[in-house]
Amino acid sequence: MEAFIRSVGAYAPPRRMSNHELAEFVDTSHEWIYSHTGISYRHIAEPDQAASDLAVPAAHRALEAAGMTADELDLVLVATSTPDYIGLPSTACVVQHAIGATSAGAMDVMAVCSGFVYALETARAFVKAGSARHVLVVGTEVYSKIMDWTDRNTCVLFGDGAGAVIVSPQTEEGAKSAVVDSILRSDGSGAESLFRPCGGTRCAYIPGQTPDSELALQMNGRKVYIFAVRAVVDTINEMLKRNNLTFSDIRYFVPHQANRRIIEAAAKRLEIPSEQFYLNMDEYANTSAASIPLALDEMNAKGVLKRGDAVITIGFGAGLTYGANLIVW
Ligand code: UT7
């Protein structure tokens, strides 16, 4: 039984911060941020909004678009690297309860910016195996709460948001919509290229001793940039090759929305027109696991994605993780 994306929904907190506003309290400028990343705005969660608070409205919208109620779900998967709680309980359990998915199991999928790609493949595997029928997959992030807002190398890049899809078995006769194939990869040698040094069990938080900067996200931007371009090129090449496709068979490539320059560099190497990559980091910045479903929702709402279109999503980020899904919408 094939699994397909039955519906999509998203939610971004209304508070919208421009580069100009950011430049009032960080040593940066709109010109630098936009020219180096393609980002103009990011949405910022309210102080009392956690990852699950963004996930819940996104989930409700996906359920509504599917014409389903939460009690029909068998599994809730939440991809997040900014969970409500450190380690336990999972954010998925909080979401499961909040939406009333009373018959569902729930777990988080942690692959940072590749989280949605990993979680979508997990949902597909459950549906194909017959272990679940309807699976809610949510990517949700509140990076504004793990940033060092004095570090211009990182705080200008990220934003908050959530996107959700419902994955169900394809039962309609002759329907083509499916999650066709996925690639999931990891290179843990780069674990400390993009990480939060302390607060976990490697470097536990000690009150009064652990510097605040060690609890925030840190990144070797150059190293991650080089990795990201290669990851996008390699996963697209492999996905096309193993499915006997060329880039002209794909309606849109939907990459993780980290940086426009990463995508332009990869597109050039792949000799794919950069217009075939759907980009919306201008509005949302890098929302990690939420960036791909936020883009899918926007594309769906604008009517740029139609049933039967072939789409390749590409995730890359901390881990280092990378991967892709080939989807017939
Ligand atoms: O989900 C994956 C997440 N990670 C990423 O996507 C990050 C991948 N890396 C990148 O996108 C790029 O490396 C960055 C956008 C982070 C940085 O761009 P870059 O062209 O590699 O800049 P750089 O780090 O080489 O810095 C160039 C200059 C430096 O000044 P000097 O030393 O040349 O005087 C930086 O201090 O730009 C300076 N700089 C800034 N200036 C104004 C760095 N950040 C800023 C800033 N505003 N926000």
Same domain? 138 vs 52: yes
Q: Encode 120-158: b = buried (16+ Cβ within 10 Å), e = exposed.
A: bbbbbebbeeeebbbbbbbbbbbbbebbbeeebebbbbb
The reported pLDDT for the residue numbered 167 is 98
19 is catalytic: no
Q: Are residues 161 and 182 in the same domain?
A: no
Q: Whose CA is nearest to atom 18 of ligand 1?
A: 36
Is 113 in the active site? Answer: yes
Q: Residue 51 belongs to what domain range?
A: 3-169
Distance CA 304, CA 314 (A): 18
**Cα separation, 311 vs 53, whole angstroms:** 29
Q: Is the peptide bond before 83 cis (omega within 30 degrees of 0)?
A: no
The reported pLDDT for the residue numbered 173 is 87
Q: Over the Cα atoms of the chain, what is R_g?
A: 19
Q: Dump pLDDT digits (tens) for 171-197.
A: 988 888 999 999 999 999 999 999 999
Residue that terminates a domain, selected from 139, 169, 199: 169
Residues 8 and 37 both lie in one domain: yes
Query: Are residues 53 and 92 both part of a single domain?
Result: yes
Q: Does the pLDDT value for residue 1 go beyond 90?
A: no
Does 72 share its domain with 126? yes
Closest-CA residue, ligand 1 atom 36, reads: 153
pLDDT tens, residue by residue, 50-89 = 999 999 999 999 999 999 999 999 999 999 999 999 999 9
The string over 185-206, giving b where at least 16 C-beta atoms fall within 10 Å of a residue's C-beta and e elsewhere, is beeeebeebbbbbbeeeeeeee
Q: Does 85 share its domain with 214?
A: no
Please tell me the total count of domains within the chain.
2
Q: Residues 117, 199: one domain? A: no
| DSSP for residue 152 | T
pLDDT, mean of residues 256-276: 97
Catalytic residue, candidates 19, 134, 256, 325: 256
In a shared domain, residues 135 and 190: no
Q: Are residues 128 and 215 in the same domain?
A: no
In terms of pTM, does the model score above 0.95? yes
Domain match, 226 and 308 both: yes
Residues with CB under 6 A from ligand 1: 28, 32-33, 36-37, 113, 152-153, 156, 219, 221-222, 224-225, 228, 256, 258-259, 286, 317
Tens digit of each residue's pLDDT (9 = 90 or more) over 278-318: 999 999 999 999 999 999 999 999 999 988 999 999 999 99
Residues 317 and 227 occupy one common structural domain: yes
Of 148, 169, 190, the domain-final residue: 169
Q: What is the tens place of the pLDDT at every residue in 227-237? A: 999 999 999 99
What CATH number is associated with residue 114? 3.40.47.10
Task: Please tell me the distance between residue 254's alpha carbon and the centre of ligand 1 in angstroms.
Answer: 23
The whole-angstrom separation of Cα 125 and Cα 141 is: 24
How much is the pLDDT for 316? 98
Q: How far apart are CA 58 and CA 54, in angstroms?
A: 7
